[in-house]
Amino acid sequence: MAPTDLARVDFTELVPEPVPFLGQAAYIQLEFFESLARSVATAPTLTSKEGLSRAAGVALRKHHAFIAELRRLGVEPVDVMAPFAPAADRFRQASAGADWYELLLGIHVTSGMLDDYFARLAGGLPGEIAARVRGILAEDASSEVLHDELFAAIEAQPGLADRLALWGRSLVGDTLLIARSALRASDSADRAGDVEPVFTELIAAHTRRMDALGLTA
């Protein structure tokens, strides 16, 4: 497989409904925040705590920026987010892993795929919202710190790479299911076939992310 050879898919064919799109995006950032905050609380060193606390702050800012977009549309954010909570909560628990390193890889893999996915899907939103959503998702404070923490740990701990490679692979299916539910929520279920090439791109980006850690995806 040479995933990087794939043509870039024009994703603006898919037209998500703004309100459920923003509601799910907001709630997912809150989940990333909760996972990052947990990684701060359980970090083995103060230096790790410090780096991860910045990533947690960025996820929280993204969450609040999506909340602000929902208010701008005149809807109550809590009501809009509520339907997405059960599946997203299960997803966060399922990707939390068995220890701090699995927690970190869980955030790295799932936020890497979903931020990318939501940014692509945003292309189909109405004019200005599309640009603002892409702006919100463009701020990335977590991937570098997560990569660096994981890279250092994998170098230092023999055997960790094998375990994390397995763990990373196991996260992809659930993450794609959350991505697919974003389309269903937007009443675009009938267009779901259009999204397959995008999933292929997300998996390709996942493979590159794992490769960068020396892990077989």
Chain residues binding its own copies by CB under 8 A are 30, 33-34, 37-38, 40-41, 46-47, 49-50, 53-54, 56-57, 60-61, 63-64, 67, 77-78, 81-82, 85
DSSP letter at 98? S
Which residue, 31 or 115, has its beta carbon nearer to its own copies?
A: 31
Q: Which position has the token pair 């799932």?
A: 110
User: Shortest distance, CB of residue 36 to its own copies, whole angstroms?
Assistant: 9
User: Shortest distance, CB of residue 56 to its own copies, whole angstroms?
Assistant: 7
Q: Which long-range contacts (CB under 8 A, 24 or more apart) does 84-93 make?
A: 84/23, 84/24, 84/27, 84/28, 84/181, 84/185, 85/27, 87/178, 87/181, 88/24, 88/27, 88/28, 88/31, 88/178, 89/31, 91/31, 91/174, 91/175, 91/178, 92/31, 92/34, 92/35
User: Shortest distance, CB of residue 33 to its own copies, whole angstroms?
Assistant: 7
User: Shortest distance, CB of residue 78 to its own copies, whole angstroms?
Assistant: 5
Which residue, 62 or 163, has its beta carbon nearer to its own copies?
A: 62
Which residue, 54 or 72, has its beta carbon nearer to its own copies?
A: 54
